[in-house]
Amino acid sequence: MNWPQNVTIKEVGPRDGLQNEKAFIPTEDKIAWINQLSETGLNHIEITSFVNPKWIPALSDAVAVATGITRAKGVTYSALVPNQQGLERAFAANIDEVAVFMSSSETHNLKNINKSIDQTFPILKAIVQDSITAGKQTRGYVSTVFGCPYEGKVDIEQVVRVSESLFEMGIDELSLGDTIGVANPKQVVQVLEVLLKRFPPEKLAMHFHDTRGTALANILVSLDMGITTFDSSIGGLGGCPYAPGASGNVATDDLIYMLHEMEIQTGINQEKLLNASRFIQEKIGKPLPSRSLQVACSTVG
Ligand code: HMG
Ligand code: MG
């Protein structure tokens, strides 16, 4: 197989991880945790979400978190933005990167952001344009690429249509979401064969949830197809509250274990990452899905 020498990991735990937690993690704990993450060697952290706080109460303190953290040099601090109101909050919090998001399936888009796909395009287009004008980096997410909790399999042409529209808006990078963790390696190859005919691999990131334990296998085949950017969540925290059955992202701890053992560099310090993982596990008060974390907890106590 075809292995790269370096991989970029984009940590989404503070956003994708916490958005699905019932317990509200106090703002000062979020800040302390993100500050720890900033010292691990990660160079990209999605720290929160400027969505409607009624929809995602766990992240209602987005501005306080984004303005309370210590910004480390060389780290990009990113956040989700769904509309103009969110963008104003994101600008007020001086976020480095604005991440817009929508689904490739109509029903999930509606349940998640209360709009049809066609109604969503102009909203995101304005956000991306305003962000570029303000000198921000921009990222797009397309969800339900490998399956929708309401519609089942998603036609690849729908994924292509949404992806093309997001790139036309001017996003720097597109993250392909397996929102409910249904993808398998054969399907990942099939989807990437289509998308890589249209978009270069360096513009794509993969965002696998590990609901059924297939995320690392999906990452391996993505690596072989030339993808070198992956989203993951420390401890394996995560899930989309508007996608029934969705559980955590692939655990950053397990992903870096695998990559480092394969002599693929990430720039992340494993021990510091495990400490940050332990920290949030304690705050959440239950064991997190990461296998590496559980091994570390059982051997160190
Ligand atoms: P809406 O309720 O249709 O919005 O929400 P609205 O425009 O009708 O406004 C209703 C009220 O919300 C108003 O207040 C607004 O001011 C307020 P009221 O007049 O009732 O007092 N409001 C806001 N307040 C603060 N910040 C805002 C904001 N917007 C409206 N930004 C909206 C539409 C899109 C905002 C809503 O549906 C929403 O917040 N959805 C987000 C849901 C979400 O966060 N889902 C999870 C993230 S996506 C994901 O996890 C997938 C991903 O990980 C990739 C993958 O795994 O596939 C990215
Ligand atoms: Mg997600």
Does 13 have pLDDT greater than 90? yes
| pLDDT value, residue 245 | 73
Give residue 49 CA to ligand 1 midpoint distance, Å.
9
Indicate which residue's Cα is closest to atom 47 of ligand 1.
240
Best residue for ligand 1 mutational test, from 16, 49, 51, 78 (most atoms within 8 Å of Cβ) = 51
| pLDDT value, residue 128 | 98
Residues 239-264 have a mean pLDDT of 90
Cβ(36)–Cβ(235) below 8 Å: no
240 has catalytic annotation: yes
For 164-205, what is each residue's pLDDT tens digit? 999 999 999 999 999 999 999 999 999 999 999 999 999 999
Residues 122-148 have a mean pLDDT of 98
Look at residue 231 and give its three-state secondary structure: strand
Supply the mean pLDDT for the chain.
Answer: 96
Nearest atom in ligand 1 to 59's CA? 44
Does 156 have pLDDT greater than 90? yes
Q: Which of 52, 57, 50 is nearest to 23 (CA)?
A: 57
Residues of the chain above pLDDT 70, percent: 99
| pLDDT value, residue 288 | 92
DSSP 9: E
Q: Which residues contact 180 (CB under 8 A, 6 or more apart)?
A: 144, 147, 148, 149, 209, 211, 240, 243, 245, 246
How many Å from the N-terminal Cα to the C-terminal Cα in the chain? 38
Does 301 have pLDDT greater than 70? no
| pLDDT value, residue 110 | 98
CA 58, 59, 61, 64 torsion: positive or negative?
positive
Indicate which residue's Cα is closest to atom 30 of ligand 1.
52
Among all ligands shown, which has an atom nearest to the Cα of 146? 1
Q: Which of 296, 290, 277 is nearest to 248 (CA)?
A: 290
Packing angle, helices 270-284 and 27-38, rounded to 10: 170
Best residue for ligand 1 mutational test, from 10, 19, 46, 52 (most atoms within 8 Å of Cβ) = 52
Residues 141-147 have a mean pLDDT of 98
d(CA 272, CA 112): 34
Hey, what are 160's tokens?
Answer: 């292509």
Name the pLDDT band for 300 (thresholds 50, 70, 90).
Answer: low
Cβ(11)–Cβ(233) below 8 Å: yes
